[in-house]
């Protein structure tokens, strides 16, 4: 039990890219907040407990400010940071766990702009999100960040410990972060602090302190209180709270502080050395958005793959010498480039793709009225803007990748195979290891073929286009020298996958449904759960959601079998009437042990709680997180969402080659290998950059 002797009031805005307004509006306004904060700091007199001090919760608005500000304004910011009136933190945005190693590294690399401006960054702070990937710890430490604040929102989630608490979080290689699990940042508005409601704030803060002093597990005599909420414009209203409180509670004084200052106080307390140490994943409970927008998430992941291929191919061209490909004369989706970018244009476009990927991976998925007014113009505009980040990244990354592939093929280097103008399928491997992967390619805009490509590291392979001839029939069994597969649409999918070499049956016959079957869960109309009858916020781990009606998608039509020289595939259709239609396709490749299993789902838009999944069981399948796939025996931070990523989900963790942009555009400094999570096939397959090449490759 600890007596609280000091309250540290940390003013900030919680950064949502959207929510309270369109992302198109909000993102620009946050940059303008920086100028407003500088003016408020300049106007604040003295160094008393009620001096205006401010923390930028994330780095993006300040990075944008540095890019556009005058030298005098940059000097003002630097001066106020060094004076302790402003803290700049290191998290780019409040991210989901969608971003890959490459995206997080890009975000941390951007912090070099602060070092160049003489602005120290010591802390990373987040709000809303319920966790952050374990692999960010070494990335933070490399960026000079030693402390983490998580002011998480417990709605639909769970804090690993009572809020507030502190602990040391240990990374994969033993690095540690002093970690403050703070109170919900939204208390700043709920308690009346940001609006200057002195009576309400006094009551709520007094009750908070009284409860905190009853705890045996809070060792500090100081505590952080947040003065902020979603996209709040900075004002001085919270300073009235400081003056009012100190007049009435001189025994527990309150003062304004930046988050750096507040953590210096906590970390300097003798109790900090004895805090518990936790090592492992801190998975985020908040996956609502990802699950509700599968199509856009798929586009985002494909954009990320194209971006990596683009960076790798352009870097290799710079290393080997520029080739001049034949240029197209039509601005076509399935054509080569009509012109080649300059080095400056290349850097700008690559940076633009990085930005769009990070904006999509940010946590805001919908406006504050998406649930109550799903058909409003704001709800539709908000989603249009959010989805636009993914499609913008896809369009530009794909265009960059196509240009890079054409340039690399024309460079005449060791990476280019013979006469690349010959007819065939040209496949690029943007990773540092040889890859053997199934490839699906479109030929002449008329047909799709499947082949298996083996491509050397950072290399190209030209594959012969398979013959168009194929046989098609109806049936339930396909077979190669390695596997025998049986499908039963009435059971939802694959009922047998026999490894003929070992005699092992790979499908669990005791399961309630077939392998790859689509399972749809819906809330029954008769449900009396409070999240249905009262508020959607009444859905917590300690107050589990309503019972679901579980339905397996089934079908009656006989599957279609297609055989070519390179592959044998079996396709079938299933449905849950009124809810979804699905098509499953399993492919066996001749002469290999590779198996592809794709499930395509078409479902009407629905605003009711609903979940679709394709669960399976495999003791060696590991969902991958940033930097590395966690081992099943790994001890996570308590109460993290270990089940957020279910076994059986296909994760797209692209190849380990990322190319970093150096100001000099020097290729050697652009090419860098990452610790990719795709070192085992179970964690996901990298998509190769591929393009169909004919005798008129330039057109």
Contact 96, 362 (CB under 8 A): yes
pLDDT score recorded for residue 666? 31
| Cα distance between residue 469 and residue 483, in whole Å | 23
So what's the pLDDT on residue 622? Answer: 57
pTM of the full predicted structure?
A: 0.88
**More confidently predicted of 346 and 673:** 346
CA angle 570, 573, 578 (to 5 degrees): 165
Each residue's pLDDT tens digit, 584-603: 999 999 989 999 999 999 98
Least confident of 8-12, 45-49, 392-396, 635-639: 635-639
Out of 317-321, 374-378, 518-522, pick the least confident: 317-321
Q: Between β-strands 580-589 and 595-602, what pairing exists: parallel, antiparallel or unpaired?
A: antiparallel
Per-residue pLDDT of 624-665, as tens digits, reads 555 454 444 445 677 655 433 332 332 222 222 222 222 222
Whole-number pLDDT of residue 685: 34
Q: Does residue 15 sit in helix, strand or coil?
A: coil
pLDDT digits (tens, 9 = 90+) for 113-165: 999 999 999 999 999 999 998 989 999 999 999 999 999 998 877 889 999 99
The lowest-confidence range among 297-301, 356-360, 421-425 is: 421-425
Q: What is the DSSP letter of 664?
A: T
Mean pLDDT of 291-295: 86
Residue with tokens 């190209």: 460
The whole-number pLDDT of residue 631 equals 46
Give residue 534's pLDDT: 83
168-190 per-position pLDDT tens digit = 999 999 999 999 999 999 999 99
CB distance 450 to 538 below 8 Å: no
Examine the pLDDT at 39 and tell me if it is beyond 70.
yes
Share of the chain above pLDDT 90, in %: 65
The reported pLDDT for the residue numbered 636 is 64
CA proximity to 691, closest of 337, 296, 316, 314: 337
Classify residue 375 as exposed, middle or buried by CB count within 10 Å of its CB (0-12, 13-18, 19+): exposed
Banded model confidence at residue 607, pLDDT cuts 50, 70, 90: confident
* pLDDT-based confidence at residue 414 (cuts at 50, 70, 90): low
- List for the chain the helix, strand, coil content (%; round to 5): 30, 25, 45
Q: Which fold has domain 6-270?
A: 7-stranded beta/alpha barrel (3.20.110)
Q: How confident is the model at residue 290 (pLDDT cuts 50, 70, 90)?
A: confident
Q: Are strands 483-488 and 493-499 parallel, antiparallel or unpaired?
A: antiparallel
**DSSP conformation class of 362:** B
Q: Please say whether the beta carbons of 21 and 379 come within 8 A.
A: no
Of the candidates 97, 55, 661, 75, the one whose C-alpha atom is nearest the C-alpha of residue 400 is 661
Alpha-carbon span 408 to 426, nearest angstrom: 11
390, pLDDT greater than 50: yes
**Where is mean pLDDT largest: 347-356, 408-417, 451-460?**
347-356
* Residue 71, C-beta contacts closer than 8 angstroms, at least 6 positions apart: none
Worst-scoring range by mean pLDDT, 188-202, 319-333, 409-423, 606-620?
409-423
Look at 561 and 135; give whichever has higher pLDDT.
Answer: 561
368: three-class secondary structure by DSSP: coil
pLDDT for the residue 322: 64
**Mean per-residue pLDDT for 53-80?**
98
Q: What is the mean pLDDT of the chain?
A: 86
List the domain boundaries for the chain: 6-270, 288-424, 471-613
């Amino acid at each position: 039990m600890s007596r609280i002797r000091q309250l540290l009031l940390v003013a900030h805005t919680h950064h949502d890219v959207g929510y309270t307004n369109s992302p198109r509006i909000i993102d620009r306004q946050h940059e303008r907040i920086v100028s407003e904060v500088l003016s408020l700091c300049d106007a604040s007199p003295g160094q008393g407990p009620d001096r205006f001090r401010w923390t930028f919760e994330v780095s993006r608005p300040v990075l944008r400010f540095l890019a556009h500000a005058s030298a005098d304004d940059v000097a003002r910011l630097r001066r106020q940071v060094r004076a302790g009136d402003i803290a700049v933190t290191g998290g780019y945005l409040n991210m989901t766990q969608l971003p890959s190693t490459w995206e997080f590294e890009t975000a941390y690399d951007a912090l070099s702009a602060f070092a160049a401006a003489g602005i120290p960054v010591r802390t990373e702070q987040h709000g809303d999100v319920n966790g952050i990937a374990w692999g960010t710890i070494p990335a933070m430490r490399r960026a000079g960040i030693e402390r983490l604040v998580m002011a998480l929102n417990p709605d639909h989630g769970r804090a690993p410990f009572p809020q507030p608490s502190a602990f040391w979080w240990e990374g994969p290689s033993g690095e540690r972060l002093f970690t403050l699990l703070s109170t919900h940042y939204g208390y700043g508005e709920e308690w009346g602090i940001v609006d200057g409601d002195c009576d309400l704030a006094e009551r709520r803060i007094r009750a908070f302190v009284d409860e905190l002093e009853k705890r045996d597990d809070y060792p500090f005599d100081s505590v952080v209180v947040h003065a902020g909420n979603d996209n709040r414009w900075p004002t001085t209203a919270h300073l009235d709270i400081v003056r009012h409180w100190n007049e009435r509670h001189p025994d527990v004084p309150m003062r304004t502080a930046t988050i750096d200052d507040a953590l210096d106080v906590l970390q300097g307390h003798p109790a900090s050395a004895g805090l518990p140490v936790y090592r492992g994943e801190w998975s985020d409970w908040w996956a609502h958005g990802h699950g509700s927008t599968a199509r856009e998430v798929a586009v985002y992941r494909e954009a990320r793959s194209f971006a990596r291929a683009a960076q790798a191919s352009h870097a290799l061209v710079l290393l080997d010498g520029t080739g001049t490909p034949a240029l197209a004369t039509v601005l076509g989706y399935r054509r080569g480039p009509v012109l080649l970018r300059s080095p400056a244009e290349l850097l700008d476009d690559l940076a633009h793709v990085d930005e769009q990927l990070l904006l999509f991976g940010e946590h805001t998925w919908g406006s504050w009225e998406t649930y109550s007014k799903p058909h409003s113009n704001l709800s539709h505009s908000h989603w249009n803007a959010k989805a636009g980040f993914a499609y913008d990244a896809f369009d530009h990354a794909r265009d960059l990748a196509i240009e890079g592939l054409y340039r690399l093929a024309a460079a005449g280097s060791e990476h280019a195979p013979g006469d690349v103008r010959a007819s065939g399928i040209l496949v690029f491997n943007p990773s540092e290891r040889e890859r053997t992967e199934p490839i699906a390619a479109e030929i002449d805009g008329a047909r799709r073929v499947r082949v298996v490509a083996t491509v050397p590291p950072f290399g190209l392979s030209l594959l012969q286009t398979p013959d168009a001839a194929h046989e098609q029939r109806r049936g339930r069994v396909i077979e190669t020298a390695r596997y025998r597969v049986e499908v039963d649409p009435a059971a939802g999918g694959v009922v047998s996958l026999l490894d003929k070499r070992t005699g092992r049956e790979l499908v669990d016959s005791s399961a309630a449904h077939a392998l790859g079957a689509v399972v749809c869960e819906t809330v029954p109309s008769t449900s009396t759960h409070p999240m249905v009858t009262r508020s959607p916020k009444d859905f917590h781990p300690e107050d589990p959601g309503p019972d679901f009606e579980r339905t397996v998608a089934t079908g009656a039509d006989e599957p279609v079998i297609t055989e070519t020289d390179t592959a044998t595939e079996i396709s079938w259709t299933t449905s849950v009437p009124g809810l979804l239609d699905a098509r499953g396709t399993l492919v066996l490749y001749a002469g290999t042990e590779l198996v592809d299993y794709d499930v395509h789902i078409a479902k009407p838009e629905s605003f009711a709680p609903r979940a679709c999944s394709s669960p399976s069981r495999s003791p060696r399948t590991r969902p991958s997180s940033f930097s590395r796939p966690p081992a099943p025996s790994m001890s996570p931070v308590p109460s993290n969402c270990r089940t957020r990523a279910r076994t059986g989900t296909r994760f797209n963790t692209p190849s380990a080659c990322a190319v970093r942009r150096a100001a000099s555009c020097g290729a050697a400094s652009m090419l860098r290998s990452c610790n990719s999570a795709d070192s085992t096939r179970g964690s996901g397959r990298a998509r190769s950059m591929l393009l169909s090449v004919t005798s008129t490759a330039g057109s």
